[in-house]
Chains A and B, each alone.
Chain A
Amino acid sequence: MLSSQSDRSRLARIPALGLRALALVSLSILLMVLDHRDNHLDAVRRAISAAVYPLQIVVAAPTRFWVWVRDAGATRNELRLQNSRLKVERLLTNARLQRFTALEAENDRLRELLEARRQVRGEVRIAEIIAVDANPYRHNLVIAIGQQDGVYDGQAIVDVNGVVGQIVEVGLMTAQAILISDPDHALPVEVNRNGLRTVAFGTGEFDRLELPFLPNNADIRAGDLLVTSGLGGTFPSGYPVAIVANVTRIPQEPFADVTATPAAALNQVREVMLIWSASPAVESADEAND
């Protein structure tokens, strides 16, 4: 019974409420310090994330169900149209791929001639997004593969159009990723046209990145494609990141005001691709894949 009378009599049974609150607050602060300083608590997080996993599955269920209903309810005609469109797309892609294979071989040969390092070619795997956490100061998503599949910290995530983000936390069956538009995210990029190197920062808006460290006289203009430079060691080089949207040069200021629009549809993706690229992780990832 939950009448207020019995509650009042039970009040005495919360022993030292203030002390307990103080202890828990101190514990929270300790946890935050440990978590912020280094990643001492990764194991703890992993354990708790396994407990949160069922909740995330339940939360994602309505969306999954809706997608299922939409797929199941698609008429034969729609499916036929989609099928023919996909066939055409596949033909075109295959044609392009033929050229690509030849170019790749040629590139390798030329690199050998130049005695340059061979480029690493990454494994790719598709992962479903099960949760998105987006607010002005945090852009996160959770994907449905994790440690079991060989996902590792810092792994690059792309979609069909460009870079989406990178993994920041690996749970047992899920992994959490930070988007390139997160205000805390910075990504080494280069201008595809001339190899000009810089860093692209997230802004907290899905459709805007900032490039704050470009001098006024830098050779950059609206419409330039930015690709990953691979210099941070996290991302493989050559993936499209963003297209320069706006360049404002203010004569008195040392740096130009440059913004760019991400190539990937950051707030519309449902599936992403994970790339296994960094050389130490490649073996373990391959093992996990096999």
Chain B
Amino acid sequence: MISTRASRHLPAVITILLALMLTLVPLPKALAPFRPDWVALILIYWAMTAPSSYNVGTAWLIGIFLDVAQGTLLGQHALALCVVVYITIKFHLLMRVFPLLQLTATVFALLALHQFLLFWINGVTAVTAPAISYWAPVIIGSIVWPFLSMFLTGVRFRAQTGN
């Protein structure tokens, strides 16, 4: 029983860990501003497909991890991810039947909200306002989304049939 439960969580745990790594891995100076929000993307996916297993609590915990790892204000990423995942779960049944283009647009909006929340918290705590490049991760993230969701769906089904 426990082993099947563990293997059920395996794809999500591994992809979330991978997303954390991709977020922390150092990139060349020129590429760094274009890094998509891997963690937000992965959490949106899992909240959409398996909201009973991965919900706001997961998002909050991962957010705290991210805050500590990146040295941002404790609770900043936690709040942003929490809100994004909450909205995703609210609309997850709708999002599952969206055609890919519409779904990508929704993810774009969610990522924009996520970035805006981070931006807003930075503003309140008087961290200097950034350049326009601040919004690049949102666009790159939306471009990445279709491929990512296809890949994850593949992973999920393989894990299921493997069971």
Q: Which A residues lie at the B interface, using CB under 8 A?
A: 1-2, 4, 7-8, 10-11, 13-14, 17-18, 20-21, 24-25, 27-32, 34-36, 41, 44-45, 48-49, 51-52, 55-56, 58-59, 62-63, 131-138, 140, 168-169, 176, 183-184, 204, 206, 267
A110–B33 Cα distance when bound, in Å, is 52
A-B contact pairs, 23 of them (CB 8 A): A1-B160, A2-B8, A2-B49, A2-B50, A14-B51, A17-B86, A20-B55, A20-B57, A21-B83, A24-B57, A30-B75, A31-B75, A32-B121, A55-B21, A55-B24, A62-B25, A131-B24, A135-B33, A136-B33, A136-B130, A136-B134, A137-B130, A140-B70
Closest to A23 in B: B56
Interface of chain B, helix or strand or loop or mixed? Answer: helix
Cβ-defined contact, B74 with A32, below 8 A:
yes
A41–B93 Cα distance when bound, in Å, is 39
**Given A31-B75, A135-B130: A55 and B69 within 8 A (CB)?**
yes
Does any Cβ of A come within 8 Å of B129's Cβ?
Answer: yes
Q: Which chain B residues (52-86) contact chain A, with CB distance < 8 Å?
A: 52, 55-57, 60, 63-65, 68-76, 78-79, 82-83, 86
A27–B64 Cα distance when bound, in Å, is 11
Q: Within 8 Å CB of A30, what residues of B?
A: 75
Cβ-defined contact, A7 with B26, below 8 A:
no
Interface of chain A, helix or strand or loop or mixed? Answer: helix
Cβ-defined contact, A55 with B130, below 8 A:
no
Cβ-defined contact, B51 with A29, below 8 A:
no
Q: Which chain B residues (97-137) contact chain A, with CB distance < 8 Å?
A: 121-122, 125, 127-131, 133-134
Cβ-defined contact, B75 with A35, below 8 A:
yes
Closest to B33 in A: A135
Cβ-defined contact, A2 with B160, below 8 A:
yes
Closest to B137 in A: A135
Does any Cβ of A come within 8 Å of B89's Cβ?
Answer: yes
**Given A184-B128, A206-B29: A20 and B71 within 8 A (CB)?**
no
**Given A10-B52, A140-B70, A168-B71: A31 and B78 within 8 A (CB)?**
yes
A10–B93 Cα distance when bound, in Å, is 13
A129–B122 Cα distance when bound, in Å, is 26
Cβ-defined contact, B21 with A58, below 8 A:
yes
